[in-house]
Structure 1
Amino acid sequence: MGEQKRLFFGLELPDECKQQIIQWRAQTFPADAGRPVGADSLHLTLAYLGEVSAAKQQALMQLAGRIRQPPFTLTLDDAGHWPRSGVVWLGPRQAARGLLQLAELLRSQAARSGCFQSAQPFHPHVTLLRNALTPLSLPPRNFHWSLPVGRFVLFQSHFARGRTRYQEIAGWTLR
């Protein structure tokens, strides 16, 4: 049995957007509000795959390569706090149809390939803080990022020295 990798499909945010979000977070939340997610780790997960063998990774990559879907726009104009998980997030008030379709395609392909998929509905979000304080006051909705999405990525999650890092394994263009 070969080495397993922890993988997920997701959307990479442009570097400029990541920096704007980090600055906004620093101005919006107190320093002790929670553990901030680093700029290099900001992303939106489309389908979590879990621990995957090399053979399953190849099969999932082939399936992903068959997806034909036009690009769409991701809007980040909402924020929330999930007290049970301690996560503070940014996301869309209303997700674009293309985003929901892409996530559904990837999640269903993952499930058919034997990757457990949560029964929870897909809630597109970018994690800003972990281990957030409860209660935590959320900012007024006076923020808005609108990002063109023209590709999605297969990421590997690495945990080392107390931090999780994400590495792009492959990417596909939406067309």
Structure 2
Amino acid sequence: MSESKRLFFALEIPGDIQQHIVRWRAEQFPVEAGRPIAAANLHITLAFLGDVSEEKQRVLAAQASRIAQPGFQLRLDDAGHWPRSRVVWLGPRQAPRGLLQLANLLRAQAARSGCAQSPQPFHPHVTLLRNAQHRVALPPPGFGWTFPVDAFVLYESLFEQGRTRYKPVDRWLLK
């Protein structure tokens, strides 16, 4: 019997933008504000798949490879705090249509393949801090980072030596 993997589709945050975000986060939040997410783990989840068998992974990858959608520009210019989940996040004030279409398509494909999807509406975001206790001041006008999105990635979530790490498994270009 094959072993399952904990998988999700996501957008990568370019390395230079990751570093800018990490520096900004360090300036904005005291150490005790919450548990910071490692720079290499910063991403925007499009569809969480959960524990997936190799066979189901192949089906989902085949479906993802058939997505024909143009790339888009993404601007991370909003931030907030979800008290219930104790998360501080960064995201787009206005999500581009391409992002919403891609997430809806991947979530629908995942649901049809038997991967339970959250009933919550899709809210594109980068998790910055977990176990956050404090409210977040809204960012000033002109705040943010913009970058082109020309691909999406299938990641595996690994828990090793007390840390979570996200490993890219497959990647598809947007046309």
TM-score normalised by the chain length of structure 2: 0.97
Instruction: Check conservation: 2:90, 2:126, Cα contact below 8 A.
Output: yes
What does residue range 75-114 of structure 1 map to in structure 2 within 5 Å?
75-114=75-114
TM-score of the two chains, using structure 1 as the length reference: 0.97
Structure 1 residue 138 displacement after superposition? 2.2
Alpha-carbon offset, residue 139 of structure 1: 4.2
- Post-superposition CA distance 1:14-44 (Å, at most 9, x none): 1000000000000111111000001010000
The farther-off stretch of 137-146 and 110-119 is: 137-146
Residue 151 (structure 1) aligned with residue 151 (structure 2): yes
Deviations 1:50-82 (A, max 9, x none): 000000000000000000000001110000101
Residue segments in structure 2 that go unaligned for 5+ positions in a row: none
Paired residue for 2:118?
118
Whole-Å separation in 2 of the counterparts to 1:96 and 1:141:
21
**What do the CA deviations read for 1:130-160 (whole angstroms, capped 9, x no partner)?**
0001x32324334211110000000000012
% identity of equivalent residues: 63
* Match status 1:35 vs 2:28: no
2:80–2:138 Cα contact (<8 Å) kept: no
**Counterparts of 1:173 and 1:155, CA distance in 2:** 15
Shift of 1:84: 0.9
Q: Distance in 1 between matches of 2:162 and 2:95?
A: 33
- Structural RMSD (CA): 0.9
Paired residue secondary structure (1:111): helix
Paired residues of 1:87 and 1:131 also in contact (CA < 8 A): yes
| Superposed structure 1 runs of 4+ greater than 6 Å apart | none
Question: Unpaired runs of 5+ in structure 1?
Answer: none
Counterpart CA distance in 2 for 1:8 and 1:114 is 14
Aligned residues between the structures: 174
